[in-house]
Structure 1
Amino acid sequence: MSFVESEERIALRKAVAEFGAQYGHDYFIAKSRAGEKTTELWEEAGKLGYLGVAVPEEYGGGGGGIGDLAAVCEELAAAGCPLLLMVVSPAICATVIARFGTEEQKSKWLPGFAAGTLKMAFAITEPDAGSNSHKLKTHVKRDGEDWILKGTKTYISGVDEVDAVLVVAIQKTGPVLVVVPTNSEGFTWHQIEMDLVAPEKQFTLFFDDVRLPSDAVVGSPDQGLLQVFAGLNPERIMGASMATGSARLAIGKAVSYAQQRQVWDSPIGAHQGLSHPLAKIHIEIELARLMTQKAAALYDSGRDKESGEAANMAKYAAGEAIAAAVDQAIQTHGGNGLSSEFGLASMLGMSRLSRIAPVSREMVLNFVAQNSLKLPRSY
């Protein structure tokens, strides 16, 4: 395994960073506060092929892996544009369909993912089943050639701007993944009011006997469990990438300020009380990036089990890094850290969310304790 990214990956990062800089954090925050979407950014990224880098070439994509898509996600976040739907639509949904979908399903959905003209949300969390996916109650059953879906999901991102939702449901033989178009009869949703500064909104979904065609279930109905895990590892990798990118942005702002701000005739960055915390967090960000790249490399090589361990560790490390980065960046700016001009306070909510979603730090620690260290389960 190489610890240096390929020339192609490095070139991709450079191109995406330059592209993201054309929009930047001010654009992202202005859109978020106005209740608007970053549609222009998404559409241009799609036309340039950045959203479809991991879609197979035969369906119009770049033919790369999750590592390439994670690089795109990280660089956009570092430019100030963390696109939450990148974690969901091209990473989870497109990956699952590419790996497990029928040829008809691949032909139907993947070209849209590749071009960025299709967005799909992912729904697994339920009101009474957060981290415990064994308690899912949303169920699907056969009715002739059709499927009938009934249940509720909550904290689902971006439903108001997608074409369909990939829903984890339960049938007699276990979980299945069902593609539900947002215009399906019996499918409604309610926005959850949040204090996050982000263009993507959160929703509770209601499926009231939604009738779906026979091809709504992805691939074979008996492969649902494999499909869920095939989607969750990329989700963790992408979540880590978005977090490390945003952490780089926050530290970059802090370092720039610490170099320019003069107190007692010297830059405040000369004082170890500020320079050491920033250096420590820079190290933590780089360590999280390295683990994220390892997780992606393992996933792209088909080593799902090992990737699961690394992806969880990467998600944990990245969540801790961004929370520390934004906090220290605000501290470095003093009172200015809470002003709109410097754009750091708006990052607080999302930085804290990175320690909760898509999997909480406590559940990651449970996973590592039980699977890496072979300690007994506590639940």
Structure 2
Amino acid sequence: MPTIETDEHKSLRQAVAALGKRHGRDYDREQLWSEAAKLGYLGVNLPEAYGGGGGGIAELSLVLEELGAAGAPLLMMIVSPAICGTVIARFGTEAQKQEWLPALADGTRTMAFGITEPDAGSNSHRITTTARRDQETGDWLLNGRKVFVSGVDIADATLIVGRTEDSRTGRLKPCLFIVPRDAPGFGRRWIEMELSAQEKQFELTLDDVRLPADALVGDEDAGLLQLFAGLNPERIMTAAFAIGMGRYALSRAITYAKERTVWNSPIGAHQAIAHPLAQAHIDLELARLMTQKAAHLYDAGDDVGAGEAANMAKYAAGEACVKAVDQAVHTLGGNGLTKEFGIASLITAARVARIAPVSREMILNYVSHQTLGLPKSY
């Protein structure tokens, strides 16, 4: 795979960076979302036939990274065009593609994604949200709970991961359903977080939510294939989100280290300040390379290779982000904890990249038994 970005990618980075800079850290989410959509950035990964840019996750992750590096990340880009848009584009019916993809691309509609449950965090095999057929009408009836679902209050629908019974084996298998926000029996409760983010988190309840037969996305028997078609982009985009956040924090620290003078010289001239910042930059660049590899493999159709690389990218980016933010705060000293410099709020936000959408420990489990061939511990 190429390790040097194309001229088109470089131009896209510059254009998105300029957009992010215009909005800045105090950005209005709706305004930035709307402008990014008009410029074609939100749907850059979606098929041209449905109003998208015809690119891939490589381009979409680049957009999110640059917005994050400007201090204006759009978290719902991970969910709406990356997860939901990708799943519908790959597995949706023609009617579903016509209904959703153009609207996701132009930003007029958004979609949330619900997979995590109170008793089924990283273990998707323990999902208890079930979907059963009404034998008389052919409708689906969904029952269950989801937690930590982002942006449900602003989403037009939520792509819900449920489980249906395999008629041949009796075992439950994962399936994906589009649930409109106003569907009867579909409830939500805001989860108050100690996290500075414009997007809110919700707990969802599904109490005999009745959906038409065409609410099912893809093949009922495809199972994990369709699910991981959305989870791999989620990991890649989360890595880009973390890299952008780390770059933003690092840039603030570098500027401060150049301007803050003690003992007649900038503090950045001292190796105790300069070397940790250099190390943070190196870690972010290495994480970016793995993220680019993961995106390249995914866009090339290598789902297996992309799965490994996406997990590694998410792990590396999460670690690099936390270290970069921590070092930025440390560089600014007391100023690093003030609202004026705007870095302290990233201390909590950076930890999200370590624990969501999959914890670093589960990634290490994946690599140890999938890549290294070691016995499973669970």
Q: Same fold (TM over 0.5)?
A: yes
Shorter chain as normaliser: what TM range? over 0.9
3-state DSSP class of the match of 2:354? coil
Task: Tell me, in whole angstroms, the C-alpha distance in 2 between the residues paired with 1:224 and 1:50.
Answer: 31
Q: CA RMSD in A?
A: 0.7
3-state DSSP class of the match of 1:327? helix
Q: 2:169 matched to which residue of 1? A: none
Task: Tell me, in whole angstroms, the C-alpha distance in 1 between the residues paired with 2:277 and 2:371.
Answer: 31
Query: Are the equivalent residues in 1 in contact too, given 2:218–2:226 (CA < 8 A)?
Result: no
2:149 alignment partner AA: I
Post-superposition CA distance 1:30-75 (Å, at most 9, x none): x6xxxxxx11110111111100001100001100011000000000
Q: How many pairs were matched up? A: 370
Task: Tell me, in whole angstroms, the C-alpha distance in 2 between the residues paired with 1:220 and 1:280.
Answer: 47
Task: Tell me, in whole angstroms, the C-alpha distance in 1 between the residues paired with 2:200 and 2:353.
Answer: 16
Matched, 1:145 2:105: no
1:171 alignment partner AA: T
Task: Tell me, in whole angstroms, the C-alpha distance in 2 between the residues paired with 1:334 and 1:204.
Answer: 37
Post-superposition CA distance 1:174-226 (Å, at most 9, x none): 11000000010110100011010111011000000000011100022112311
Q: 1:318 matched to which residue of 2? A: 317
3-state DSSP class of the match of 1:169? strand
Task: Tell me, in whole angstroms, the C-alpha distance in 1 between the residues paired with 2:194 and 2:147.
Answer: 17
Task: Tell me, in whole angstroms, the C-alpha distance in 2 between the residues paired with 1:343 and 1:365.
Answer: 32
Percentage identity across paired residues of the two chains: 61
1:81 alignment partner AA: A
Picking from 91, 94, 107, the partner of 1:100 is 91
2:334 alignment partner AA: G
Q: 2:118 matched to which residue of 1? A: 127
3-state DSSP class of the match of 1:365? helix
2:138 alignment partner AA: E
Task: Tell me, in whole angstroms, the C-alpha distance in 1 between the residues paired with 2:219 and 2:93.
Answer: 8
Picking from 82, 102, 105, the partner of 1:91 is 82
Q: 2:19 matched to which residue of 1? A: 19
Q: 2:361 matched to which residue of 1? A: 362
Q: 2:328 matched to which residue of 1? A: 329
Q: Please state which structure has a larger fraction of its residues in helix.
A: 1
Which runs of 5 or more structure 1 residues have no equivalent in the other structure?
32-37
Task: Tell me, in whole angstroms, the C-alpha distance in 2 between the residues paired with 1:334 and 1:194.
Answer: 26
Picking from 51, 55, 69, the partner of 1:60 is 51
Query: Are the equivalent residues in 1 in contact too, given 2:283–2:320 (CA < 8 A)?
Result: yes
Which runs of 5 or more structure 2 residues have no equivalent in the other structure?
167-172
Please report the TM-score for the alignment, with normalisation by the length of structure 2: 0.97
Shift of residue 341 of structure 1?
0.6
3-state DSSP class of the match of 1:354? helix
Shift of residue 328 of structure 1?
0.4
3-state DSSP class of the match of 2:223? helix
Q: 2:183 matched to which residue of 1? A: 184
Q: 1:35 matched to which residue of 2? A: none
Q: 1:154 matched to which residue of 2? A: 147
- Ranges of 4+ aligned residues in structure 1 off by more than 2 Å: none
Please report the TM-score for the alignment, with normalisation by the length of structure 1: 0.97
